[in-house]
Structure 1
Amino acid sequence: MTLRTLLLASAASACALPALADVNVYTTRQPELIQPVVDAFTAKTGIQVNLAFIEEGIVERLVAEGARSPADLVMTVDIGNLEQIVDAGVIQPVDSEVLKAAIPENLRDPENLWFALTERARIVYASKDRVAPGEVTTYEDLADPKWQGRICTRPGTHNYNLALLSAVIAHHGEDSARQWAEGLRANLARKPQGNDTAQVRAIWAGECDISLGNTYYMGQMLEDPEQAEWANSVRIEFPKFEDGGTHINVSGIAMTKAAPDREEALQLMEFLVSPEAQTVYAEENHEYPVLPGAEIPELVASWGTLDADTLPLDEIAEHRADALRIMEEVNFDG
């Protein structure tokens, strides 16, 4: 019996509470990635959840709707996106002892405006044939000339790489971060292009030996018959900062300022950080739970031990504008 089946069975056997209202969620995540845990919440509480997938312009939509917005919650990925929602002034703080007890301090907003739900690590995909185990050690090492012509990555101005460079700034300062970006660019095998999956395909094709990528892409590739061959040509290496751990990013949730059904929305937020929901949600997305002690999905655990960096994500987000400026100054994508 799968974790999802166990969760639904447990929820269905619980005494359902009367549904006072539906909960409307704006999400940049594909609804099918969220639906299993949402279904379990509905089975347990009787509260229906309506998912509205908004691929682009979610902040602009919330701003335009203002107090008339039907959205109770907003779910998105990347600390940069979460901070954009904060800056837009369209969400409200949530004072919940359940959320604060479940989510480590560095994975939530200091003012309780957003809360992380899952973690993903920005790691290195390494060729099994051309890179020895343990050869990749630190992020700083990626700028070493020994990797010249051997690295692939998506554009440096993409949110995932901007978050990583923001973390480099937070650890070492702007000058060192610029030198690192220049060194990384000098080691590229080709112009930055495509997504993280495209980089693994390039390793499989022999165009490069290592690439930057998020962990969950490995799970997605293994589920695709065509891409599984690419995935099996690489292994995941967990580089660390010289004075820290492996860089992580998150998916997160926040309550809108309009929130027509705040009480029900809070119930959903608190359910999403419960042990059973955390495991199922992480399993569906091939990510790591944020709840300490929650079971890590078997496939994710097989990739190795994640020693996550403990820098507060909001501190990393403060350097995003500087990271973008540096990427442009070094002509990373040129």
Structure 2
Amino acid sequence: MKLKFGLVAAAVLSLMNAATAEEKVLNLYSARHYQTDEALYSNFTQQTGIKINRIEGKEEELLERLKNEGANSPADVFLTVDAARLAKAHELSLFAPVASKTLETRIPAHLRTEDWFSFSTRARVIVFNKTQLKAEDVQNYADLANPKLKGKLCSRSGSHPYNLSLMASIIAHQGEAKAEEVARGMVANFARAPKGGDTDQIKAVAAGECGVTISNTYYVARLLRSTKPEEIKLMEKVGIVWPDQNGSGAHINVSGGGMLKNAPNKAAAVKFLEYLASDQAQRYFADGNNEWPVVESVKVANPALESMGKFKADKLPVKNLAMYQTKAQIIFDRAGFK
């Protein structure tokens, strides 16, 4: 049963609490909105007999809902994207620790915490206009602050979690002083004020409005997989660089989730999280948004991702991204990265 976020709360609670048999129902709050997730959930029900009741909404709305519901919440599992948002749920004490040999064995240590787990990864890459720049001009994130790129950088808002997580990783690896130097250099290189999303930045680079940007890989992959003639031509004009390959590696972020502290169906919640780490679910979970599985033995055939080539990924623990989020925002604010 797929329940939309806008339904009357009382009706939703009634429906979710109607099925009380142990391990026969799972109440899921999800900020993921990908078509392939339908197969992900139906396969879980087929394998376990556990029915999934689902509420979808924006991350902030779901977190606020969980806070307001408190101990009376019917939700068992919360799924979302970006380590910062998962960490927010942790900070609000919404998650419960999960002890699972399956999750510990299959999910690498740097991609999990004591109470939430990553189930797919994405990287933040540099995208440049081939007529304005060469790949060797932008080999590292710090190169985006090089004065020779003055008037060439486009970006989405500095307050967006994707950019905050990237800046948090720079703080973790290189310290606050270097991070602020990079942030100030990027602001000095702006072709225009930050606006739009990652896809907008890629299109602006292709159009020559700016020479370079940063983007999550799934936005690049979507455009590479497009059959629209205008988008095929657009991607012929840009090049992709995996940053920091001689250093810490390309910045990685995640999709993930955890069991909620007040979950009424805890056994079902653990089964579901373990299912998301299975080979079959990993393929669905990653392919739903052109991402990579976290289970290293699982291979996904995605021509767009493969066309970007192999790369060295940053192994910074995901919890460290959350640790430096506040400092990242302060640095962006001081630098004028709005």
TM-score, structure 1 as length reference: 0.89
Q: Secondary structure of 2:308's match? A: coil
Separation in 1, partners of 2:164, 2:260: 26
Question: Do structure 1's residue 295 and structure 2's residue 299 form an aligned pair?
Answer: yes
C-alpha distance in 2 between matches for 1:224 and 1:329: 42
**Contact 1:204/1:230 (<8 A) preserved:** yes
Q: CA–CA distance in 1 between the matches of 2:130 and 2:297? A: 31
Kept in 1, the 8 Å contact 2:245–2:311? The answer is: no
Sequence identity (%) = 37
Change over 3 Å in CA distance of 1:203–1:270 after alignment to 2:
same
- Displacement of 1:122: 0.7
Q: Which residue in 1 is equivalent to 2:141?
A: 139
1:254 maps onto 2:258 in alignment: yes
Residues 224 and 259 (structure 1), Cα distance of their counterparts in 2 relative to 1, 3 Å cut: farther
User: For residues 34 and 52 of structure 2, what CA distance do their matches in structure 1 show?
Assistant: 11
Equivalence map 1:93-172=2 (5 Å):
93-109=97-113, 112-172=114-174
CA deviation profile, 1:261-299 (whole Å, cap 9, x unmatched): 111121111111112221222112100111012103322
- Deviation of 1:134 (Å): 4.2
Instruction: Give the deviation of 1:135 after TM superposition.
Output: 3.7
Find out whether 1:73 has 2:77 as its counterpart: yes
TM-superposed CA distance for 1:172, in Å, is 1.1
Amino acid at match of 2:280: E
Q: Which amino acid aligns with 2:76?
A: D
Which range is displaced more, 44-53 or 313-322? 44-53
Q: What is the aligned partner in structure 1 of residue 271 from structure 2?
A: 267
Change (3 A) 1:75 1:155: same
- Residue deviations 1:219-259 (CA, integer Å, cap 9, x gap): 33334735444334323211017631110100111101111
Change (3 A) 1:136 1:195: same
Q: Which runs of 5+ in 1 are unaligned?
A: 1-17
Q: Is the 8 A contact 2:36 2:284 kept in 1?
A: no
Q: Is the 8 A contact 1:116 1:250 kept in 2?
A: yes
Comparing 191-200 with 228-237, which one deviates more in the overlay?
Answer: 228-237
Write the letter of the residue equivalent to 1:88: L
Which 4+ stretches in 1 moved above 6 angstroms?
none
Which moved further from structure 2: 41-50 or 257-266? 41-50
Instruction: Tell me how large the CA RMSD over aligned residues is.
Output: 1.8
8 Å Cα contact 1:122/1:248 also seen in 2: yes
For 2:245 and 2:165, how far apart are their aligned partners in 1?
14
Equivalence for 1:21 = 24
Give 1:320's match in structure 2, choosing from 317, 325, 329: 325
Does the 8 Å CA contact 1:123/1:237 hold for their aligned counterparts? yes
TM-superposition CA deviations, 1:69-118 (whole Å, max 9, x none): 11110001111111110010111011000001111111111xx2000010
Equivalent of residue 90 in structure 1, options 89, 94, 98: 94
Query: What is the CA–CA distance in structure 1 between the aligned matches of 2:34 and 2:265, rounded to whole Å?
Result: 20
Q: Counterpart in 1 of 2:33? A: 30
Secondary structure at the residue paired with 1:25?
A: strand
Determine the C-alpha separation between the residues in 2 that align with 1:238 and 1:308. 9
- How many Å separate the matches in 2 of 1:31 and 1:188? 33
Give the stretch that moved more between structures: 190-199 or 139-148: 139-148
Q: Which residue of structure 2 lines up, in the alignment, with residue 43 of structure 1?
A: 46
Amino acid in structure 1 at the alignment position of 2:45: T
1:146 shift after superposition: 1.9
In structure 2, relative to structure 1, the CA distance for the partners of 1:258 and 1:232 (3 Å cut) is farther
Amino acid in the other structure paired with 1:152: C
